[in-house]
Amino acid sequence: MKSVKDLDVTSKRVFVRVDYNVPVDDNLNITDDNRIKASLDLIYYLLEQNAKIIIASHMGRPNGKRDLKFSLAPVCERLSQLLKKRVLFADDCVGDNVKKMVGQLDDGQILMLENLRFHDGEKKNDDRFSKELAGLCDVYVNNAFAVSHRDQASVTGIPRFAPESAAGFLLEKEVRSYYDSVENPEKPLVAIIGGAKVSSKLAALENMLKFVDKLIIGGAMANTFLKSQGIDTQGSMIEEALLQTASGIVKKAKEKKVDFMLPLDLVCAEKFDKDARVKEVLADQIPDQWMALDIGPKTALKYARAIADAKTIVWNGPMGVFEMEKFMEGTRVVAKAIAASSAFSIVGGGDTGLAAKKCNVAGKVSYVSTGGGAFLHLMEGRKLPGVVALE
């Protein structure tokens, strides 16, 4: 795919798809502006080139209807503050008024469009909607890795009709970080996979067996693997329909000589509650009807030692219910081991990025991805539609 640096954008209308789907409070105040900050280097570059910059994003799920609680107006204000430069705002993303505002842009001016998802043509990847967006620009730049696994108008539709298309700095960095850490890593490569369900990570697990030296399993998904090996998981969350599949993955790992690591001990509770009674038990000694909600201390220590030997680390998914303090320690120990390692370490976005932040290690790992779904899409060995559209 072409980089934006491969194109002449001087004085051209440049449509930049960003991911400004930021969290806001009840008063529409932005509570975390990291996604906006992640786009600033590209915006500064385009300003240096005297481009006419058109910024577009979605926010929330307005379901194809205009809903001002999902307006990007507060984001426009915050971007103006960060840039110390006025950013113009259009109250729609298509239509005559938007065309007029784009036509009146001077070199080095910035216009932010209203929420793309106020139109159902965005999620439906409607050709007419895509053409109308593409008609606003001379150059299309995708800088939104977090939505590049989606086949939508502003991701895959516009490149079909825009005169030129390229990748922005953030998209390039994300894709390069993935390939450097998974498909062309310095060995040994250790992958830590957690989260709730095997089903959500099944394709990623099978694909990662091609590359990893060690595969560390945590979270509720570990329960399904434990039960597939004959361990009574009592009241723990499992996926009965995937027991045979889980057993097959363990077998395949042995055939490939991958060190497939499952919990030795667990932190269990009599119910799913932050105030529940808890016990630390061996994996095969869960009390009757109790449930496993975190890896135990012996497991956390074993995992930390395995991480210490790595040259490359990929982490996707917490080790337990890290949102509750009683079940956070396993995730914390693993996170700190990753942070202490000199290996190249990449952390998947979404819950994993949130866990890294909660464990105060986000600034101590090599890279934290901005997109959980897109990162998992790559881990499954699939190409991102947003990247393919630029090729």
What backbone torsions phi and psi does residue 110 show, to the nearest 5 degrees? -125, 135
Q: How far apart are CA 244 and CA 169, in angstroms?
A: 42
- Is residue 272 a contact partner of residue 293, using CB atoms and an 8 Å limit? yes
Select which of 12, 13, 17, 35 is catalytic: 35
In the chain, count H helices and then E strands: 15, 15
Closest-CA residue to 313 (of 290, 345, 340, 267): 345
Tell me how far apart the alpha carbons of residues 142 and 94 are, in angstroms, rounded to a whole number.
18
- Of the candidates 99, 197, 311, 326, the residue annotated as catalytic is 197
| CB 213, CB 258: distance < 8 Å | yes
Extended beta strands in the chain, E state: 13-17, 52-56, 88-89, 110-112, 139-142, 164-167, 189-193, 214-217, 259-261, 265-269, 278-282, 291-295, 312-316, 344-347, 367-368
* Strands 88-89 vs 52-56: parallel, antiparallel or unpaired: unpaired
Query: Among 235, 350, 372, 386, which one carries the catalytic annotation?
Result: 350
DSSP β-ladder status, 265-269 and 291-295: antiparallel
C-alpha 36/C-alpha 39 separation (Å) is 6
- Residue 282's closest CA among 268, 272, 293? 268
Supply the angle between the helices 40-48 and 169-178 in degrees, to the nearest 10.
130
Q: Return phi, psi of residue 189, to 5°.
A: -100, 125
Give residues with Cβ within 8 angstroms of 209, minimum separation 6.
215, 249, 252, 253, 256, 258
DSSP 163: S
| DSSP 8-state assignment for residue 136 | T
Of 60, 64, 373, 381, the active-site residue reads 373
Give the Å distances, CA to CA, from 318 to 222, 346, 351, 359: 11, 14, 7, 11
Active site residue 197: yes
E strand or H helix at 267: strand 265-269
* Number of alpha carbons in the 13 Å side-chain half-sphere of residue 14: 31
Q: Which residues are part of the catalytic machinery?
A: 35, 197, 350, 373
